[in-house]
Amino acid sequence: MNKVDWKKGPHWNGIAMVGTRVNNTDPGILATAGYILNEGEIENPPDPNDKILRSLFDTYNNSIEEAKKYNSHSHPNLKI
């Protein structure tokens, strides 16, 4: 939990934030959970058959790809 940058910032865009608004939709919550796990250096579910953890990582990874597309235009120097 200490590795997560909890401050508001562009690194949350497309994950827990949409612009300046909190993304509290189901995909946003799943993506945020995946982000937290990833920052905790849990890159893949320990059990590949764990559908719940797999969905967190899949949603997070999809959100990252979308955020990269968005940020490449509006925040070209942001590293995700």
Residue-range domain boundaries for the chain: 1-8+26-80
Q: The pTM is what?
A: 0.60
Q: Note the pLDDT of residue 32.
A: 86
Q: Note the pLDDT of residue 17.
A: 87
Angle between helices 26-39 and 51-74 (to 10 degrees): 90
Q: Which residues of the chain have pLDDT under 70?
A: 43-46, 67, 70-80
φ, ψ of residue 49 in degrees (nearest 5): -90, 0
